[in-house]
Amino acid sequence: MLDSAIFNRVRTAAGRFAKAEQGNIAILFAIAAVPILSFVGAAIDYTRANSARSSMQAALDSTALMLAKDLSDGTIKASDINTKAQDYFKALYTNTEARAVTVAATYTASTSQGSTIVVNGSGNVPTDFLKVAGFPQIGFDSSSTSAWGNVRMRVALALDVTGSMADDGKMTALKPAAKALIDQLGALAKNPGDVYISVVPFAKDVNVGASNYSQTWINWSEWDDDNKSCGWNNGNYSCTPRNHNTWNGCVTDRDQPYDTKNTTPTSDNSTKFYAEQYDACPVQLLPLTTDFAAAKSKVDSLSPNGGTNQPIGIAWGWQSLTQGAPLNAPAEDPNYTYKRALIVMSDGLNTQDRL
């Protein structure tokens, strides 16, 4: 009887145990806790390593830029770059978790494609969680490159020399401003051809040079009408245009739409530049040059006179940057990147364009 009672109680307890579900969640969590904690720990370790690498990248970028400036300015020699790189990097890199940090700089001297500084860095961060899985540290590396001398500049100065520039000290202010700009641009040239500058004085017309009277890109139709001698000869009245070598070098706008384009002149008269014997013809323009002293002398020679035609100044400033006729800008080296700029200094309204 006692044995039977004990057996029944055991059987009842076993049944209740088999049906119980209260502990399942705890068991499943205990099983899942290990991979969950591992993933969280790995994420923390990788975040620390990524932070150290990001800080290194920022420090390397600044180091490369400062080394490039020092080398281009002549502040340091090529033999000093590694020592200087270490100094700059140590001052810039503030991450405290990185270990075994190394930095090395490589300098490639000036070539047809410019000069370069490459700064490489590496290090590691000790792990707190991944070391359990056999990864005691996470390594990282980064690199930064600074290049200079592979960009060249070509700048056109279109300068208003109309009569109104004589008022209120405007011409007096324009000259030193333009010459200061030429000095600043010229100082950027480390090698011949790095910087070219043109000077295009303009009023109603632009003076392209009287010696160009035989060029095929000139349209003489209006000039011939305005500059001719007429009279009776043997009972016949006739007119004869003056010789083109008496032209003073001034041109005005082309026919539309070429007046606002830099299209190279062709046999089509609409693409040619109209000669004009303008009585307030400004001084002759100076095409692109590396003779910065000559550019400043050209600015000094400016004298205010005549009406305002801004499009002609802008058009010829653009032409001075264009390869091909009429001004034939110097050929560009494919090993360089070229930046072109047109700077217009003017005080007046456009009141005397041809069209």
Identify which of 284, 341, 347, 300 has the alpha carbon closest to the alpha carbon of residue 179. 300
- Do 242 and 227 meet the contact criterion of CB atoms below 8 Å apart? yes
- Do 253 and 308 meet the contact criterion of CB atoms below 8 Å apart? no
Nearest 5°: the CA angle 222, 305, 278 is 15
Nearest 5°: the CA angle 74, 77, 80 is 135
Q: Which two tokens stand for residue 157?
A: 């100065």
Give the pLDDT score at 10. Answer: 47
Please report, rounded to a whole number, the percentage of residues in the chain having pLDDT higher than 90: 67
DSSP-assigned letter for residue 253? P
Q: Which two tokens stand for residue 192?
A: 């011949």
Strand partners, 250: 207
Give the pLDDT score at 150. Answer: 81
- Do 216 and 326 meet the contact criterion of CB atoms below 8 Å apart? no
Question: Which regions in the chain score pLDDT beneath 70?
Answer: 1-41, 110-113, 355
Task: State the fold for domain 151-345.
Answer: Rossmann fold (3.40.50)
Q: Where are the domains of the chain?
A: 26-148, 151-345
Q: Which two tokens stand for residue 2?
A: 């006692």
**What's the whole-model pTM score?**
0.66
Helix segments in the chain, DSSP class H: 2-19, 24-73, 81-92, 170-187, 221-226, 292-300, 310-320
Give the pLDDT score at 134. Answer: 82
**Alpha-carbon radius of gyration of the chain:** 39
